[in-house]
């Protein structure tokens, strides 16, 4: 079982890390739509916490992670996603990760279930473990 952190991801603002103003969760909660329920484990608790701190937050249910990522890249919203699911987009600069201390972010778990650990399964397991960190 691997623990995977959830991160706040937002559309790229076109700036660079050295000269851009700091980004905050509050700004996104008041300006953009929060794309929710793209992962089954954490949204109910996270929404309760967000709504208690950000009264007028707008939400839209998007049931698939890849659609959520596309909406974020197009500037249509922001979301909280497992870090492993947005690694490529962050590295390629298609979206930004915003560090936030305003709320406690959950973690999700990845499980690999197998009947027999063959050489192929072992290689796959090692690949997953390397790439989830």
Quote the CA–CA distance of 22 and 98 in Å, as a whole number. Answer: 9
Residues 17-75: tens digit of each pLDDT: 665 667 889 889 999 999 999 987 899 999 999 999 998 899 999 999 999 999 999 99
In 3D space, the residue among 132, 92, 83, 82 whose CA is nearest the CA of residue 112 turns out to be 132
- Tokens standing for residue 111: 């499980």
Which domains are seen in the chain, by residue range? 2-132 (3.40.190.10)
- Tokens standing for residue 93: 């600069």
Does the pLDDT of residue 116 top 90, yes or no? no
Residues 6-21: tens digit of each pLDDT: 999 999 877 666 656 6
Quote the CA–CA distance of 72 and 78 in Å, as a whole number. Answer: 6
* Mean pLDDT of all residues in 79-104: 92
* Mean pLDDT of all residues in 119-131: 82
pTM for this entry: 0.82
Quote the CA–CA distance of 63 and 102 in Å, as a whole number. Answer: 25
């Amino acid at each position: 079982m691997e623990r995977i952190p959830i991160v706040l991801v937002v559309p790229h603002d076109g700036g660079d890390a050295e000269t851009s103003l700091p980004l905050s969760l509050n700004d996104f909660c008041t300006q953009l739509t929060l794309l929710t329920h793209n992962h089954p484990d954490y949204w109910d608790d996270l929404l309760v916490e967000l709504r208690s701190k950000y009264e007028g937050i707008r939400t839209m249910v998007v049931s698939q992670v890849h659609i959520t990522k596309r909406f974020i890249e197009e500037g249509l919203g922001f979301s909280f996603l497992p870090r492993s699911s947005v690694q490529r987009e962050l590295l390629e600069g298609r979206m930004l990760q915003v560090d936030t201390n305003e709320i406690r972010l959950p973690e999700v778990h990845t499980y690999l279930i197998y009947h027999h650990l063959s050489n192929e399964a072992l290689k796959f397991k090692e690949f997953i473990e390397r790439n989830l960190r």
